[in-house]
Each structure stands twice: as C-alpha cells, then as structure tokens.
Structure 1
Amino acid sequence: MSQTAGVKPMTIVGRVASERERCLGMTDAERAWRKQWLKDQVLAPNEPVYVEEYWKERINPIRRFYRKPLDVIYNALTPVLGAQRAADYRYITGKLGIIAFGILGVHYYFKYNGNNWTKKGGWRVSKTKPMVLPGQPGFPFKSERTLDSDYANRGFKSSPI
C-alpha cells in the first residue's frame, strides 16, 4: 500500500516553499506560519525514537523467527562497529547465506535427482562433443559410441542390475 493510499500527496509547505514566492512578499500570518514551520523541522536530540513494541507489532512472528539469528549477530556487532557498519554486515551475511543455500540446493538436486533410465523426471544433463580443430591432436574427432544402442543410453549399460 502506498504511503498516501492512492491520494495525491499535498505539500504542507504551501506557496512559501519556493524562495521566489517568498520574495514576492509575505503577509504577517504567512511569516508567523513559516517561522513555526521552520521550528517544527528541527528534531529533538532523542529523535528518532526506537519503540520496541512498534516493531513487534509491525513484524509478524514468523518473520521475527527467521530474522533472529542475524539480529543476534547485529546486536553483538553494533557496540564494536557502529550501527551502520553492523547493519551492512548483517545484510551481506544474510545474502551470502541465501546464495550458499541456493548453491547447495542446486548441487543436491543434480546429485540425487538426475535424469537417467530409472526415472522419467529430472533435468537431463548431456555433454557436447569437444571442439577439435584441424592441426590439434585428435582431429578428426571420432565418438566412443560404436553401436546404435550406445546413443540415448541414459546410464542403462553401466547399471549394476
């Protein structure tokens, strides 16, 4: 959901936002309003305020559960490195974890779910014949497959059955 819920945002600055408009002339009411508006832009020394209950209500329990390990690391590193650098390390650690999990998942899939003669599914990984150019050893390339049954074998001949 957008911040304005589909309604076009309206500026609270009014016509005195632009310096050109202010130079044209301001009424006393506009001057007082502008003075108050500039005072309101100054933050208190304790702002922004971190409210723990707000974040607990905003982030659902499942999300809090999977964020907990990196939050512990972040909280341990914050006093040592500072908030911004600890947040950067937390972000990078999370992304590297996702990448490592993806690589392990792909490795597992190709190791245990390959396409062979016993299964219908799985990705079939086939090797192309090597490129051998004239003048290189092994030219012209001759395939090791001699019989017609060697093609589309899918591991049947090397099966222990």
Structure 2
Amino acid sequence: MVEASETSGVKPFPIGGRMVRERERCIGMTDEERAWRKKYLKDQILSEHEPRYVPEYWKERTNVIRRIYKTPLDMMHKALTPILGHSRAYTVRFFTGKFAMIFAGIYAGWYYLKYNSNDWTRKGGWRVHESRTISLPGDSDFPRLSQRTKPSDYANRGFDNSPI
C-alpha cells in the first residue's frame, strides 16, 4: 500500500526563493526579481476576511469525543471574544483548560491518597511511613526510644483501631 504524502510525491520547495534572505537581496536584484518580490510581498497580505473559520472544515477534522470535551471551553471563548477580543479570549480559554487539568490531577491524587491508604484490610494503596525525629547526644531526651511498646505494635497497619 502506498501512503499519500502531503505533496503527492512532488518535491517541496520554498516559493520565496533566494530573495527571502536579506543578504541575498543586498547582493543585487534585477528588475525582474524586484517585480517578482513586489508581487510576492503583496500576495502575503491577507484580506480583512482572512483567516476564515469554516465550521464544516473543523467538524471534519476533529472527532466526536474531542468536540464533546472541547465544547465548554469553546462556549466560554465565544462568550468572551466580544469582550476581550479573539487573542485574549483564546489565552483565557487555553489557561483555563490547563488550570482545570492541573486542579483535577491534584484533586484525584488527594482523593486517592485519602481513601486508598494501605491498611490491614487490603494489599494495595499508599503506605506512609513516618520516620522518628533525630535524637543527638546532648538533647534532653537523648536516647529517644520507639513509641512502640510491645511486639504487636510493629507492622500493625491500623488493626488495633478496627471496629471488629
């Protein structure tokens, strides 16, 4: 199977030619090159109707799932565009989506850590170990001993607090 390329097998080339670089233009330009450059620069100016938004084009380019999750931010962008302008409304839309994803990630992590801790009832989940504080010679409580008084306190994992 032959894959279609963007240029349909034709080798791409820059349409600006050598006159795109200022150094090349300073070497010298013929009248023909000067006329071509004038036409080229005139063609680069967009009309007031461009860039043009064609809804059917964007509908064909994005799949259904992507259109669904983009809808709330698109509606916010549409509402803010008359107030802030297109560029600023797009910036607000962009950062709102990013902050929402960061917030959702932090909240999901917090929820998982809070409600899926590792205790005696399950194998999985996060197990949190607390280290003892440093005790150096010269401290008032120097030989700081463990808070665990009997062997059943080790590897307890919350069994003593169970309602059973």
TM range (shorter): 0.7 to 0.9
SS in 2 for 1:157: helix
Aligned partners of 1:31 and 1:80: how far apart in 2? 44
Amino acid at match of 2:111: Y
Instruction: Normalising by structure 2, report the TM-score.
Output: 0.80
2:49 matched residue in structure 1: 46
Deviation at 1:133, TM superposition (A): 4.4
Cα RMSD, aligned residues only: 2.8
Which shows bigger deviation, 100-109 or 13-22?
Answer: 13-22
User: CA-to-partner distance for each residue in 1:75-97, whole Å, 9 max, x for gaps?
Assistant: 11111122222212212211121
Among residues 49, 53, 77, which one is paired with 2:80 in the alignment?
77
Deviation at 1:142, TM superposition (A): 2.0
Structure 1 pair 15–106 and aligned structure 2 pair: CA distance change class (3 A): closer
Aligned partners of 1:14 and 1:116: how far apart in 2? 70
Aligned residues, how many?
160
User: CA-to-partner distance for each residue in 1:128-159, whole Å, 9 max, x for gaps?
Assistant: 11234455554432221011221111111221
Instruction: Normalising by structure 1, report the TM-score.
Output: 0.82
Which shows bigger deviation, 131-140 or 62-71?
Answer: 131-140
Structure 1 pair 58–129 and aligned structure 2 pair: CA distance change class (3 A): same
Structure 1 pair 119–76 and aligned structure 2 pair: CA distance change class (3 A): same
User: Is structure 2 residue 139 aligned with structure 1 residue 130?
Assistant: no
Identity, % of aligned positions: 59
Segments of 5+ residues of structure 1 without an aligned counterpart are none
Aligned partners of 1:158 and 1:19: how far apart in 2? 78
Amino acid at match of 2:103: A
Among residues 96, 99, 115, which one is paired with 2:102 in the alignment?
99
Segments of 5+ residues of structure 2 without an aligned counterpart are none
User: Is structure 2 residue 59 aligned with structure 1 residue 56?
Assistant: yes
Aligned partners of 2:78 and 2:140: how far apart in 1? 61
Aligned partners of 1:3 and 1:129: how far apart in 2? 63
Structure 1 pair 24–130 and aligned structure 2 pair: CA distance change class (3 A): closer
Deviation at 1:35, TM superposition (A): 3.0
